[in-house]
Amino acid sequence: MSGAALQGIETARAREVYEFDVPKKYANEAASRTLGFVRLTGDEELEATKTARGDSVRLAFELVKLSLIEVDGKRVAKHEGQDESIWNKMRPELRQLCLAAYGELHNAEDDETEVFLKGRRTKVG
C-alpha cells in the first residue's frame, strides 16, 4: 500500500466511524459482530482506482475495503494485509452487505440527485 493510502488511513482515525451490526446469520462465520466504515477522501478513492487497474468490479471492492476500518471496534491493520484476510473470510452475502453499507455512506439521496441533475445549465465559452 502506498504512503498516501497509509496516510489516508491514519487520517481516518479522526473521522467518524459508522458501525453496522453484522446479521447473526453471518456473524459466527465472519467472527465479527460489527463492521465500521469511514467516508473516503478523494485521495483514498484515487488509491482504490489505482489498485483496481481499470477493472470496475474490482474498484467497487477496493473502495469498500478501504472504507472498512474496524471489525468489532478494533482497527483493521491494512498495512499488514488484514483487510484482505477479513474480506476473503466473509461469505458473499456479507461482502454484498458491505457494498450496501459503502453505498449508504457515499451516495447522495435520490431527491438530492434529482435536484442536482435538474439544475443543469448550458453555457457557451
- Domains defined along the chain, listed by start: 3-118 (3.30.2220)
Amino acid 12: pLDDT: 46
How does pLDDT run across 57-96, given as a tens digit for each residue?
A: 999 999 999 999 999 999 988 877 788 888 888 889 999 9
Amino acid 117: pLDDT: 96
Rg value, the chain, Cα: 16
Nearest to 66 by CA among 33, 34, 105, 112: 105
How does pLDDT run across 9-32, given as a tens digit for each residue?
A: 555 458 999 999 999 888 766 668
Beta bridge partners of 19: 36
CA dist 33 and 41 (Å) reads 26
Q: Inform me whether the pLDDT recorded for 1 exceeds 80.
A: no
More confident residue, 5 or 34: 34
CB-based contacts of 40, cutoff 8 Å, min separation 6: 8, 48, 63, 66, 67, 106
pLDDT class for 103, splitting at 50, 70, 90?
A: very high
Q: How many Cα neighbours within 13 Å face the side chain of 81?
A: 3
Integer CA distances (angstroms), 19 to 13, 46, 65, 73, in order: 14, 24, 14, 8
Stretch (H or E) spanning 37 = strand 34-37
Amino acid 69: pLDDT: 94
Could you tell me the pTM of the whole model?
0.80
